[in-house]
Structure 1
């Protein structure tokens, strides 16, 4: 074979091999294409037909969040003594899975949980908690097919809720009565009932009250087998001073209540869960955003069977911030004791046996800063014959306060140009048609000036200011001619500058502003000028006298003066986050010389006027005004059956740079004898106690 033939033969062989290679590659490419096509088809099936179920499985196994409560902020008084603390409470909670549990699942979980805990320790409590419907629902789960067979064709076609009710109704009374409802089974039903209360993705407290340490430990040990169950630490409020000041500290919802239903949209929009505990009154409600803290948020990874595989803290919890009060709790306790003791003395006085006196109220504040120093109210429960702390009445109950407001009336007269410093008017009985005789207490005083009108509490002097404010002319036994009824609003406008008849601005969620009289009879303008027409609260009265004491500057009352960071040291507040400065609400629209004149009149009330006999022995400078508003009592037929008086007292001390202002109301007191001392004794003892405590504090500081 020559060289050319050999080369051709070899070339043919190589060509044959090369021609086989693309064929094999084509086979391989086709195989790969078919495999990818099958994968794409399978992916489409999963995505389109089973996507929702697949996502549910992913969510269930990789994204199961829960939140753990943190302690609320604490309260401290003005001396940084702890007022409200938190008490740890062991709790068992249940958080339903995203896809929800079936009725059978919850029953099985309840049976498992019942082997470790008993919700109600007393048999009677357990029997009361499990209702007839609860028993029927359990019986239905155990006998579903049998009960469903009892329904008619029409009943089977009803919507699910109506059909379910028919099924429950199909269970006979005899079946319920003859079933063995033993303690263990009732416990299971009670637990299942609590599980049903849980909202989707919101943990619900199954039990906390009465939960023993042993039960808590058993549940904690078996959490992996109890899907959705957690053993957590919840928190209850623990006041350090019992009932003292509780009316204003306020309350919070229980674990079972959660957020109030009537405000659920508001709370849900602000990131709350339905079972979150929130402040419902007082400072707990007013400062909810400060006190609530930030919940710890934990994300669990669980298996499809609900077993916890791992957990991560995604948001660290933080206790709520603390509040420092303006109130010294020791002084508050002393004022509470004073008010109750003097109320008790008045009620036990024979001259007071009219059966109407039940309350004594007092507010003490710093007129220069608006700081509330004490708010106290004692109520006598005649049915139970017990004295109850009802301090909240100082901001909710409004009364006719009598002559205590004459300082505001005189200042209005000055400003209107009706009277001036030293103006003399005749104190005499006024006879106005269709109006009872209008006169001062006791004999007519004749010509008196403005200072005497305050010192001796002339009704007529103030009444004549009101008549001239209305632009009217007085003629004996006739109506007031040319009477301008706009005078009612004009006089109220002056009063509102002192806080009378308007909001005081105190940092509490609710506050009464009193009631304006609705009968615009001419004579009632005169009675309004002496505090016997419109009604005011004790707090309004305290702000009024504070405004006069503070040279016409009306300060906003406040109970909180600081917000502080939580402290790591027990019983010691953290650093200050925010400090609230005293806030001036308004300066009364009156010349300072007139305010000085009223201050002098208020001084004379205590040194030589209507309060002198009760205050002559006190070694401190005090100024203010007394008040008596007649409160006759009538039966259903409109017949008068008793005479009572609202006794009031306002004051401040010392005269220069006053530190303390007070208002006292003893409503519907007797009209004779020693009972008239009740308001004076309360005011006098408050002043004495304040100075005694100041002296003790000074001695301690020196040491």
Structure 2
């Protein structure tokens, strides 16, 4: 009985303890909730309602380019672009799905899709990446390398031929590559210049894309004169991967459109506009809240070039016609397919015309960049520099007479002029283009005694001396032209005495057409070497589409150096260059003796090139007594027949005709119907 009572009193005690514990727990919970709500309630509510301000940017139209007379040569065309904007939460799979949907509504060019981007797309969506990893990586590599290192190895080892994307998949990949370039909440151009049909179809189906796809007003580059100088104007595109870090340090965004070549790249900081800014307010999940605020940007500054587009077009027509005429005249083994011409103000360095033409498949391709990238042996056109070098080193002086007869050196072929000239002085050597006169200058500079057949004990010094003085004219060194890149020619090195002699007649080192026009300009400008340039002025954006705005900056002519030669020596050489074109025995007198309204001075050249082929060259300036235009003509793989002289005469005539008649205000409204028809007929005949 006592035992039963003990059990009854024990059970209520345990229940009481349990109830007390529950009571204490509920009390603690209530107190904690009170603290959260009363003490920290405001801060937690603020966190729940927290928003973030994010600014996205969109490129503004670039500045325009005008020729020296205010004609628009590079413009902006208003277009609409298809853009993609992802949020912070957009997944890669969603981007692929959007790209696939979008491919049904737009046509996307796949030519710009790189091999690396194709591999990235292939590994991301086309195949089981793990199988590819196991196939291309060793077990050790899988265990020891980081994910990034493994991926890069797979990319390197993946054979492009094994990637079998269909045309539809390639188009999806091309769209995808544009979508993944940008940052979150930054509109990324998927297609610039969408067609009206594409705009309509996308607009009708925008709800499929949950706000990620939009149609925005945009601008793209247009060229009123089509291919003329378009390559020199340059291209605009996404920042090249190797330049991204530099642009980011300047404050640019990775998805910016920038100039990627020639003038667009050279003057990127001028031509780029002030970006449109779009201010978003997002919640803590990164989703936009409310309507974004848009701050309009402005287009970039305009550039006025030194190029005269009227002269440029005339020179292009001349070059094309002369190439076709020469090919018809010399049909046997005729490899002539190109010619390059530069016209420059020798006193200021302004480039008036820069023409390069290449005949491919019966049609001419515009290639003016050949004037700064292509280098050739220039032949006798360099002889003025050789004579002045001879004066400066003291091996000859004005009036020195040397005997022109074939020279025989040990271990070399006979070295001679195109005919035996007998005794000639410095002016006659230029007038008749004596090789032997230049050979003897080189031998004397090298300390070589021809009668004793000995000397030339310091070849390094001899070559360095000649190159040192040639460099002063711009031969073998950068010209300084305002382009991102240029070729400074080819230095043949130090070899035999015969090579030094060949260098004196332009048959050893090689130079570009731009270097040649700078060289002859230096002589025309009394020894002052000017920096060639294409930019004349920078102007503020104009409210009127057809005219540049107010001038902000004007390019000041820059003297790079003054050659070491005395003025009397330069005048002496200029007399020789005048005789080349204006005296009976001058090598170019047949073409230049009867000029109207001006007299010219210059030097012809023929260089053996690539076996039995030749390069015909010509440099010169006019008027000879007060030069205002200098020029260089280079025609690779040309036969004898004077294409260099014919082009030189006609381009000078064109320059002075335009000067006399006055420039046309708008070339696009006044096309040269006769020349256009003639060019069309010539091309038909060539085909």
2:581 touches 2:588 (CA, 8 Å); kept in 1?
Answer: yes
Q: Distance in 1 between matches of 2:403 and 2:469?
A: 24
- Which residue, out of 278, 284, 291, partners 1:310? 291
Q: Distance in 2 between matches of 1:645 and 1:680?
A: 15
2:206 touches 2:213 (CA, 8 Å); kept in 1?
Answer: no
**Structure-1 residue corresponding to 2:435:** 459
SS at match of 2:258: coil
Moved more, 362-371 or 185-194: 185-194
| Distance apart, 1:88 and its partner CA | 1.8
**Structure-1 residue corresponding to 2:313:** 333
**Structure-1 residue corresponding to 2:323:** 343
**1:375 equivalenced with 2:344 (yes/no):** no
Q: Distance in 1 between matches of 2:198 and 2:561?
A: 61
Change over 3 Å in CA distance of 1:218–1:483 after alignment to 2: closer
| Distance apart, 1:386 and its partner CA | 2.6
**Structure-2 residue corresponding to 1:219:** 203
**Structure-2 residue corresponding to 1:652:** 621
**1:414 equivalenced with 2:391 (yes/no):** yes
1:220 touches 1:230 (CA, 8 Å); kept in 2?
Answer: no
Change over 3 Å in CA distance of 1:474–1:195 after alignment to 2: closer
Change over 3 Å in CA distance of 1:424–1:163 after alignment to 2: closer
| Distance apart, 1:32 and its partner CA | 12
2:344 touches 2:629 (CA, 8 Å); kept in 1?
Answer: yes
**Structure-1 residue corresponding to 2:106:** 119
Q: Distance in 1 between matches of 2:264 and 2:664?
A: 35
Any stretches of 5+ residues in structure 1 without a counterpart? 1-30, 142-153, 165-180, 634-642
2:521 touches 2:630 (CA, 8 Å); kept in 1?
Answer: yes
Change over 3 Å in CA distance of 1:449–1:85 after alignment to 2: same
Q: Distance in 2 between matches of 1:597 and 1:458?
A: 16
SS at match of 2:336: coil
**Structure-2 residue corresponding to 1:7:** none
CA RMSD of superposed structures (Å): 4.0
Could you give the per-residue CA deviations for residues 176-201 of structure 1, whole angstroms, max 9, x where no partner exists? xxxxx9x9x99999877764554445
Q: Distance in 1 between matches of 2:647 and 2:233?
A: 24
Q: Is the radius of gyration larger for structure 1 or structure 2? A: 1
Change over 3 Å in CA distance of 1:195–1:367 after alignment to 2: closer
**Structure-2 residue corresponding to 1:27:** none
SS at match of 1:309: coil
**Structure-2 residue corresponding to 1:629:** 607
1:369 touches 1:555 (CA, 8 Å); kept in 2?
Answer: yes
**Structure-2 residue corresponding to 1:280:** 260
Could you give the per-residue CA deviations for residues 12-65 of structure 1, whole angstroms, max 9, x where no partner exists? xxxxxxxxxxxxxxxxxxx99995675445678x59xxx9xx59x73xx44232
SS at match of 2:218: strand
**1:244 equivalenced with 2:215 (yes/no):** no
**Structure-1 residue corresponding to 2:575:** 600
TM-score (norm 2): 0.79
1:278 touches 1:292 (CA, 8 Å); kept in 2?
Answer: yes
1:651 touches 1:661 (CA, 8 Å); kept in 2?
Answer: yes
SS at match of 2:358: strand
**Structure-1 residue corresponding to 2:302:** 322
2:98 touches 2:209 (CA, 8 Å); kept in 1?
Answer: no
**Structure-2 residue corresponding to 1:690:** 655
SS at match of 1:369: coil
| Distance apart, 1:110 and its partner CA | 6.5
**1:474 equivalenced with 2:450 (yes/no):** yes
Any stretches of 5+ residues in structure 2 without a counterpart? 1-29, 129-138, 152-165, 666-687
**Structure-2 residue corresponding to 1:77:** 67
Q: How is 1:101-116 mapped onto 2 (pairs within 5 angstroms)?
A: 101-103=90-92, 106=95
Q: How is 1:74-473 mapped onto 2 (pairs within 5 angstroms)?
A: 74-98=64-88, 100-103=89-92, 106=95, 118-120=105-107, 195-196=179-180, 198-212=182-196, 215=199, 219=203, 226-253=210-237, 258-302=238-282, 306=287, 308-313=289-294, 316-350=296-330, 352-381=331-360, 384-443=361-420, 445-473=421-449
| Distance apart, 1:246 and its partner CA | 1.3
- Which residue, out of 518, 539, 546, partners 1:571? 546
| Distance apart, 1:344 and its partner CA | 1.4
TM-score (norm 1): 0.77
**Structure-2 residue corresponding to 1:10:** none
| Distance apart, 1:291 and its partner CA | 0.7
| Distance apart, 1:613 and its partner CA | 1.7
| Distance apart, 1:616 and its partner CA | 2.2
**Structure-2 residue corresponding to 1:17:** none
Change over 3 Å in CA distance of 1:299–1:496 after alignment to 2: same
